[in-house]
Amino acid sequence: MSRRAEPSREDIERLVAAARSVRRRAYAPYSGFHVGAAVLAEGRIYRGANLENASYPLSVCAERNAVAAAVAAGRRRIEAVAVVAGDEEPTPPCGGCRQVLHEFGPGMLVVSETTAGRRARWRLDELLPAAFEASSFVRP
């Protein structure tokens, strides 16, 4: 997949604001850890919040719900993801979400902000080097 142009500062600010606002809709009664995420896909923003379940392993992270919203809208090229959570340090996407994000934008920008406004940024390929991907296996 080709590298995309760097998202503008304005796009990044809109993305972080979208993640911050959707965090209010998180359903996280078990962990109490509310997370909002937003992806920038082909110039549009799609949002997701974490969604937990009484059967704990069925819970889904905010990032994966945002990816699902983009794909359901027909957008498969993700340029950036923003995450907002309430920890003291910016929350990086979990390993499973890194893998799912990689499928739709291996070079994407990852921005994470705390509710207090502390921000970190990475490239996804720094967070998930040597990723397993479509070219990693031969289809029958």
Helix (H, G, I), strand (E, B) or coil at 85: strand
Are the C-beta atoms of residues 52 and 28 closer than 8 Å to each other? Answer: yes
The region of 6-14, 73-81, 93-101, 124-132 touching ligand THU under the rule CB under 6 A is 93-101
Binding mask 73-92 for ligand THU (x = CB under 6 A): ----------x-------x-
Chosen residue from 35, 38, 70, 108 binding ligand THU by CB under 6 A: 35
63 labelled catalytic: yes
Across-strand partners of 51? Answer: 27, 60
- The answer to whether residue 61 forms part of the interface with ligand THU (CB under 6 A) is yes
- Do residues 83 and 62 lie in contact, with contact meaning Cβ atoms separated by under 8 Å? yes
* Shortest CB 116 distance to ligand THU, Å: 17
Kindly state the DSSP code that residue 80 receives in the 8-state scheme. E
| CA 101 to mean position of chain CA atoms | 7
Catalytic (active-site) positions: 63
